[in-house]
Amino acid sequence: MHNLIRSELYKLFHSRSFWTLLIISAVTGLIIVLIFQGMMTLTAKDSGLNRMGAGQNGFQISVSGSDAADDFNISGISLMMETFSGNLYQTLILIFTSIFTAMEFSHGTVRNTVSRGLGRGRIYLAKYLCNAAASLLFTFAAMATSFAAASVLWGTGPITGSFALTLLQTILVQLLLLAAYSGVCMFIAILFRSSGGAVALNFCLLIFLPSLLSLSGIFTGGRLQLERYWLVNCASSIASPAPDAAALCTAVISGVITLLLSVFLGVFCFKKRDI
């Protein structure tokens, strides 16, 4: 197993798609900060216009860029957590996992590995660990650039003992959700064995599955809301430095179940299908 993981990591770090997406992740984290900086500038300008109007009426109002940042409650920590609220990480993960996994079938790499007499279950697990590691590295790259840039502009944000513990727990749960999502994308890539098909279906799941799951609430009168347990929605619900405890618990349960189920189904299909 150790040699399998080393082999997968070697292929990972010699993959152009990995380094390309890693750079894109880091740049995207910086772009998010620049977008918020633009919002701060517009807010400050609007506040300046309001101040001029108020001054003409005899009122004195002082508004600065830092006041606008305070209104938005922006800091290095809050903006770093905000990056989890969209589909940024999931999009990067599905593109890389679909291409990296399916490509090995088209190039015959998987067939050569299996022909050496290695267990398919171990091969799949090694590939999953490699994909999960890549997914987390994409995440760390975007988190690092967004946190560093936002901290320079608006400060790091308060970090106390209890708050730091909650923040660490939240980040770990977010990483669990991304690792589980990587497992889902890899399972689909194993089924299709085609980069194009895997990317297409993974995109469809990312975009349309939440809407389909929301139908459960409509048909059951709101008693059953399956969309709450979808990984992307769970990530958005805890995309803050101090999320709700119930949402955090739901995210942990959803992440663990999805991760185990996707890996189990992936190993099962990988063992049963011809290569």
Query: For the chain (length 275 residues), average pLDDT per consecutive 10?
Result: 85 90 92 85 65 48 48 77 82 90 78 79 91 93 92 83 84 94 92 86 88 77 78 88 87 95 92 77
User: How much is the pLDDT for 46?
Assistant: 65
In a domain, 223, yes or no: yes
Structural domain boundaries, residue 9 = 2-30+76-272
In a domain, 61, yes or no: no
Helix count and strand count (H, E) for the chain = 11, 0
pTM here is 0.85
Handedness of CA 16, 7, 97, 250 (dihedral sign): negative
User: How much is the pLDDT for 101?
Assistant: 86
In a domain, 66, yes or no: no
In a domain, 55, yes or no: no
Dist CA 172 CA 23 (whole Å)? 23
Dist CA 55 CA 65 (whole Å)? 19
Chain segment 54-67, per-residue pLDDT in tens: 455 444 434 444 55
In a domain, 146, yes or no: yes
Q: Which long-range contacts (CB under 8 A, 24 or more apart) does 221-227 make?
A: none
CB 112 within 8 A of CB 58: no
- Overall domain count for the chain: 1
In a domain, 69, yes or no: no
Dihedral angle, C-alpha 251, 24, 138, 275, nearest 10 °: 100
Dist CA 181 CA 231 (whole Å)? 7
Answer left, alpha or beta for residue 187, where phi above 0 means left and psi between -120 and 50 means alpha: alpha
**Which residue in 125, 17, 33 sits closest to 72, CA to CA?**
33
Residues ≥6 apart with Cβ < 8 Å to 68: 40, 43, 44, 47
User: How much is the pLDDT for 63?
Assistant: 43
Residue 109 belongs to what H/E stretch?
A: helix 109-115
In a domain, 139, yes or no: yes
**Which residue in 23, 40, 24, 31 sits closest to 75, CA to CA?**
40
**Which residue in 73, 88, 70 sits closest to 30, CA to CA?**
88
- 84: tokens are 């989890």
User: How much is the pLDDT for 113?
Assistant: 79
In a domain, 225, yes or no: yes
